[in-house]
Amino acid sequence: MNAPPLADHHRRMLETESGIAPEVIAARGYRTVTAAEARQFGFSGQQARAGLLLPVHTTDGQSDIYVLRPDNPRVVEDKRQKKDPLTGDRPQKVIKYEWPRGVGARIDCPPACFDRLKDAQTPLWITEGQKKGDALASWGLCTIDLPNGVWGWKSKQTGILADLDFIVWAEREVFVVFDSDVITKPPVAQALARLTKILSRRGARVTPVPLPQQGDDKLGVDDFKAQGGTLEQLQSFAALGQLLPLKTDGRRSQEAGSAEYLKTLSDLGYSFRMRALDDLIEVNGQPLSDPLRAEIRTRMRDLGYKGLTAIEDAYTAWAYRRSYHPVKNYLE
């Protein structure tokens, strides 16, 4: 049986830019489609565009749903955002991935991982989207992914998806690796907290895996792998994730507060990191001393913030995520 057609720029996107192994690409069944072909796979109207077709392989063994990554994506008004008071317009957003209209959210499993879903002795990794799932599968990891984003394990109509029921969770090690904005972006942090709570109730031992932030750009696990990141490094991030003060009660106000604290601290000119040799927190390259800690508390208090302990928790977690080793970093 011939492999589906795959244009060179799409193969480069998968292999070079996402770190996906050729055999994983073949197993998924990625293919290049025209707009007319996209219509045959369930996309209609403005959704139907030339691009990369990503078959969805659900945890119950189905494979008749598809995601489309258009080469020329739609740009639409973001109705979740407020209108500009001067122009009356809302900000626009790019629809990077198309999901067929009328099709409910599903959970995806790279084909090579399907037979291990019921083996609780095999650690399970969870990430966003098929390309990221396939990047993890290319390391030989048992993986599921959420094509509908970080909240893609639930739907408004049915609540928690039944796709989770086809996986054995009791006594299983589970690692959740969302994009690097998981702490600073409240909806992502809340999704991680809620998912952690749900899987923990099913008996899983859940660990978040914080990826390093690259300036203002978020980093996905596929980007991390494509840029030369190793499985050993990813596993070290998992060890770091066990130290993060993750809130699992899903209370939006606390997670939104942490993101706001970090943004305000950044606006005030503070940058935090942790020296791995001795777990020393540094602020703008200097050790966090008592006078400097008092300065931060005073400036935040002057801005009207009252949760000073929560503020310290927020920048401590942020420093953990930006941990560095002075000797190793110098040698590299």
Please provide the average confidence, as pLDDT, over all residues in the chain. Answer: 87
Confidence of residue 1 (pLDDT cuts 50, 70, 90): low
Q: Please tell me what DSSP assigns to residue 78.
A: -
Instruction: Check residue 330 and give its pLDDT.
Output: 46
Per-residue pLDDT reduced to its tens digit, 2-29: 678 999 999 999 999 999 999 999 999 9
Instruction: Check residue 257 and give its pLDDT.
Output: 57
Going from N- to C-terminal start, the domains of the chain cover 8-241, 252-331
The set of residues, in sequence order, having a beta carbon less than 8 Å from that of 41 and lying 6+ positions away, is 33, 53, 66, 68, 100
Q: Please tell me what DSSP assigns to residue 62.
A: -
Greatest mean pLDDT among 233-242, 290-299, 320-329? 290-299
pLDDT average, residue stretch 216-236:
91
The set of residues, in sequence order, having a beta carbon less than 8 Å from that of 96 and lying 6+ positions away, is 69, 73
Percent of the chain with pLDDT over 90: 58
Nearest Cα to Cα of residue 59 among 146, 139, 128, 127: 146
* 65-70 vs 142-146, strand pairing mode: unpaired
The CATH number assigned to the domain with range 8-241 reads: 3.40.1360.10
Say what the pTM is: 0.73
